Structure 1
């Protein structure tokens, strides 16, 4: 690393302005609200874990069902801060599981543009490319609808592998 003191000074300067802190806190609160809404409306289909924070790069929670658990897989609803979009990720419970399913799914539409396995997942599907954070009710509806459709599509694909 070039000069950590330099980066820390820039970081502190940005935090002192307050905008990044407000934005980050509001984004995390929104993902927390999504999780709560999904627990209320989708708990008959999925179980949900708590919110996990990346290093200001991802905010996410896992969700799963009996089928996924038997395969040692899970899905994640991810707010990708770097791309500022919402995604669904398919993940394995262990690296060997992840590698196994990467091999089985690397030629799918979700991975056809990748030469190697993503760093944290088996596959990643974009749900909302340019979220409108000024209309959170509509954004919640968009994310939920696309999450359900995409999750079902991934599950249907996985069921063909049996």
Structure 2
């Protein structure tokens, strides 16, 4: 338990500075705003549930384009805290669906996006980096980058299914 106690002391020290709380709150507020923006900009897409805030590892929300709904697939817009980057993931609505489509992508030879190494313990079928170094001082520009990246990702997944049915 000594290691945990040392970590708690460091945690407290960092929190006393106030920047972690400010940054974390800003990230979560931005993600909630981005989620709402997707709801408004893409009325044909389903934006289920809320924001998963995570344990300062990742925070995300899901989007279900109409083309993926019947396949029980969804797209997640993910912020990876430690790397401070945005990713877009393709995931199943449950582990069974996820495993089924993971095998389909893996066996297809399609290499546009690399499937994750294994579905064991994974939350995604495909993980793709959208933005390596987001500019949180230009939220409108960041939103456009993310929306464009998600649109391209979704279209590429649709193209995969059009050619691998």
What TM-score does the superposition give when structure 1 sets the normalisation length? 0.88
**2:89 match: secondary structure:** strand
The answer to whether structure 1 residue 12 and structure 2 residue 12 are counterparts is yes
Matched, 1:123 2:126: yes
Structure-1 residue corresponding to 2:47? 48
Q: Distance in 1 between matches of 2:2 and 2:88?
A: 34
**Which of residues 150, 154, 158 is equivalent to 1:155?**
158
| Structure 2: runs of 5+ lacking an equivalent | none
Structure 1 counterpart of 2:147, from 144, 148, 152: 144
Normalising by structure 2, we get a TM-score of 0.87
Tell me which stretches of 4 or more aligned residues in structure 1 moved more than 6 Å. none
**Superposition map of 1:49-68 within 5 A:** 49=48, 50-68=50-68
Return closer, same or farther for 1:53/1:84 CA change in 2, 3 Å cut-off: same
Secondary structure class of the residue paired with 1:126: strand
Alignment RMSD: 1.9
Q: What CA distance in whole angstroms lies between the structure 2 residues aligned with 1:26 and 1:12?
A: 20
The answer on whether the counterparts of 1:88 and 1:151 sit within 8 Å (CA) in structure 2 is no
Query: Once the 2 structures are TM-superposed, how far is the Cα of residue 2 of structure 1 from its aligned partner?
Result: 6.5
Describe the SS at the equivalent of 1:131. Answer: coil
Match runs of 1:11-30 below 5 Å = 11-30=11-30
Choose the corresponding residue for 2:137, options 130, 134, 139. 134
